[in-house]
Structure 1
Amino acid sequence: MHTTPGPPAPPSLLRRVPPGLWLVLLWLAVTVYTLVMDTRMMDPWHFVFGGPRSRMTGWPMLTVAGALVAAAGLLTRRTLLALALLLTGTVVTTTGISVKDIPLLQFLPVIVALCYIAATRPRRTSAAAGAMALGVLIGYALTRSLLGMPVEVSTAATVVLTTVVAWLIGNSIRQSQLHEEALRARAAEAAVTAERLRIARELHDMVAHSVGIIAFQAGMGGRVIDTQPAEARRALGAIEATSRETLSGLRRMLGTLRRPVALEPAPGLADLDRLVATAGAAGVRVQVRRLGEPRPLPGDIELSAFRIVQEALTNVVRHARTDRCRVTVGFGEADLSVEITDEGRGPGDGRAAGYGIVGYGIVGMRERAALLGGSLTAGARPGGGYRVAATLPVPAPVAAVR
């Protein structure tokens, strides 16, 4: 029963939160944590900023920093501008809380933002963002050193290394995503190529078989039209029937391509009687033997067996110069065997030369067998005639798991 897929499930609440809001919340968390720890380590008179004088300038600086970070959270689509505002807000925050260097915890929002940028933006943008972050860290340390202020080299080096590692992690995530997209594109391209080859093979098998029958009937009708009008009329009727059947097959295939949902069943071993009738109309009697116990087989195996028999019978009609041939289908336990033999006398048995080297008949049959892990041999028989034999492995049925 055909079911229509429902609408996709809405994203979770956490995924609905934009990255900019997460950035602002992270800055608030680390800033509040720093203020609380400062309050615990200092006496109540110094409060947060070390004294009344610094307190008078600290709160306004934190307010400005918060405004800059909030603006950065709103401008996430303008990546470099948002990062510049975030870096400026981080420097203002560090100055406001009166610490020697930019601490790792206070620089954490920038590190997270840089990792996100490297994972989601092109290499040029992420490299510029990384250069901006490192430039601010190094410039802040150099400025303090030039002004005679103390600089904690170990703290600055730790923050710089952490920033580089964050960019590398984000860049590796980006490269992994690009690699997966390339693999999916290649898989889609390979699937399209395989489908085109399958369609081309089906068209070749169907059209070549029908055109071979039509050419044979037209030649025979032309030779007997004056002496045996009844035979000529029969040949013309066979040409008409074969032509109509071929056109119907082409229409079905085109309809399948336009409407992939309405697939028609592919031909299989049950349709061998149709091939026998077509070859009989062309003047070749076909004897079909079935060895073993017939059973349902996978569709690709039955289709390949049918096409191999079809191509071989086409060669018999066009090249064998005989009025009879034999088709043997063997149902083995682990494989399916197909053999087509005749006792014809072609010109130097041109099937071996014309179809094995120049044409595509034997090559196409070998490809079909090889795609299923089987094999195909074709060649002249020692006692005269021609033989095509194919063996197609049949996969063992998978037991149902209860």
Structure 2
Amino acid sequence: MRIDRSGLHDTVLAGVVAAASVAQFVLYGPARLQAEGLPAEGVRAPDPLGALLVVLACAPVAVRRRWPLAALCAGLVPEALLDVAGYGTGVSALSGMVLLYSVASHRGLAVALGALLLAVTTYAVGAVAGPVMASGPNEHVVFAVVLVAVWGAGRSLRLRRAYLEELKDRAARLERAHAADTRAARAEERSRIARELHDVVAHHVSVMTVQAAAARRVLAADPDLAREALSAIEHTGRLAMTEMRNIVGVLRTDARAELGPQPGVRDLPSLVEQMREAGLPTSLRVEGEPVPLPAGVDLAAYRLVQEGLTNSLRHAGAGVKAVVTVRHDPGELDVEVRDDGNGGKSGDGGGRGGDSRDGEVSLPSGHGLVGIRERVALYGGILSIGPLPGGGFEVRARFPLKDGL
């Protein structure tokens, strides 16, 4: 069972305030006032009725946080009766200050100002209607200043509490925004990894399929050639596993950095040689002066060539030749993959399609060249995909390079 500690603390505080007020009421009777040279004319001597009124004035302190304004009003009634009955002004002033502080610290400005005005009015009425304990008007001014100071302390506490709540709320909002950004970054990273895996798997599996078919055809007639094809399949499979292991390894760590360097234009000679081994005669042409490329553009260019050559290997037909051309123009990188096969026919539905400008391209529902479209569009490039006049197929992209890169 959960205990309301704030209510318990307020109850204890009410008891302490009541004890102190009753002690003041009993000790500072007319005789004590006269002994100290204070005006005591008309002041009523302490009695049980007065003590009861003092306790009733202090009792609302027990609920000062739950109903602060109601508690203040309830406490001011016995205090006013004490003044009117002649027990002296300010007998239960301590409880009134506690209740005024509670209203100022737990309620809005309008209610707090109303409570201050009510407390000052009650004191003024008691000072006029009952015997005056003060030695002069200066005492009334001092008491009014004390009331305002108590009220100001309560308002300061409320403003500080509101400021801290605002800071907590802002921190919670920032934490939620950070969590949303983290989720978005993770989703983007998974999408990127999915594209990378598709490119790797589609390319290497296509090469292995072609090599396996060639090995099957010559297995009986030329075992040595079949053995070479099987060795090439093994080598291609190991390359695929190594590259996929590097990519999937990113999923096992919170770091965003790659576990290994990503392929780029510098790796195109190895890719072309691999395609030659797979049975697609391929040549590479590099025009212009090579310049350092942004990492994203470098990877996108490599994947475009990889997907274009894989497309040619799978769908262009027998006896096809492919040409890869990389042009380094001022402010632009032009990458082109052409073959002289049956470019007008579609293979797996994901390879051969239409033309695009500014990254927009009309493609079938496959994922290969669709992924290329997304890569090129990401870097503001222009992608062109489609059959060539007179036969053949072309995949071409032009990437703008900023600041001379």
Q: Secondary structure at the match of 2:399?
A: strand
The letter of the residue matching 2:212 is A
Structure 2 equivalent of residue 324 of structure 1: 321
In structure 1, distance between residues paired with 2:333 and 2:234: 34
TM-score w.r.t. the length of structure 1 is: 0.60
Is residue 2:180 matched to residue 1:186?
yes
**What displacement does 1:257 show?**
3.8
Structure 2 equivalent of residue 289 of structure 1: 285
Cα 1:83–1:393 shift into 2, 3 Å:
farther
**What displacement does 1:248 show?**
1.7
**What displacement does 1:135 show?**
10
Aligned 8 A contact 1:283 1:323 in 2: no
In structure 2, distance between residues paired with 1:226 and 1:280: 23
Query: Which stretch of structure 1 is more off in the superposition, 172-181 or 226-235?
Result: 172-181
Which residue of the other structure, out of 298, 305, 311, is the alignment partner of 2:301? 305
Structure 2 equivalent of residue 370 of structure 1: 377
**What displacement does 1:192 show?**
0.4
Aligned 8 A contact 2:208 2:237 in 1: yes
The letter of the residue matching 1:263 is L
Structure 2 equivalent of residue 28 of structure 1: none
Asked which structure has the greater CA Rg, the reply is: 2
Q: How does 1:31-70 map to 2 (within 5 A)?
A: none
**What displacement does 1:168 show?**
7.8
In structure 1, distance between residues paired with 2:221 and 2:247: 40
Cα 1:386–1:98 shift into 2, 3 Å:
same
Q: Secondary structure at the match of 2:304?
A: helix
Query: Which stretch of structure 1 is more off in the superposition, 306-315 or 175-184?
Result: 175-184
Q: How does 1:139-218 map to 2 (within 5 A)?
A: 176-218=170-212
TM-score w.r.t. the length of structure 2 is: 0.60
In structure 1, distance between residues paired with 2:220 and 2:213: 13
In structure 1, distance between residues paired with 2:250 and 2:286: 32
Which residue of the other structure, out of 358, 380, 386, is the alignment partner of 1:379? 386
Cα 1:283–1:45 shift into 2, 3 Å:
farther
In structure 2, distance between residues paired with 1:350 and 1:298: 33
The letter of the residue matching 2:182 is A
Is residue 2:336 matched to residue 1:339?
yes
Aligned 8 A contact 1:134 1:163 in 2: no
In structure 2, distance between residues paired with 1:89 and 1:233: 97
The share of aligned pairs that are identical, in percent, is 33
Which residue of the other structure, out of 216, 235, 238, is the alignment partner of 1:241? 235
Which residue of the other structure, out of 382, 389, 393, is the alignment partner of 2:396? 389
In structure 2, distance between residues paired with 1:165 and 1:286: 76
**What displacement does 1:397 show?**
5.9
Aligned 8 A contact 2:349 2:365 in 1: no
Aligned 8 A contact 1:352 1:379 in 2: no
Structure 2 equivalent of residue 358 of structure 1: 365
**What displacement does 1:288 show?**
1.0
The letter of the residue matching 1:333 is P
Query: Which stretch of structure 1 is more off in the superposition, 210-219 or 158-167?
Result: 158-167
1:283-308, Cα deviation, whole Å (9 max, x unpaired): 11211111211011111111111111
In structure 1, distance between residues paired with 2:91 and 2:287: 93
The letter of the residue matching 1:247 is M
**What displacement does 1:190 show?**
0.8
Structure 2 equivalent of residue 314 of structure 1: 310
Aligned 8 A contact 1:374 1:390 in 2: yes
**What displacement does 1:256 show?**
4.2
For these two proteins, the number of residue pairs brought into alignment is: 306
Aligned 8 A contact 2:338 2:392 in 1: yes
Query: Which stretch of structure 1 is more off in the superposition, 159-168 or 307-316?
Result: 159-168
In structure 1, distance between residues paired with 2:37 and 2:389: 112
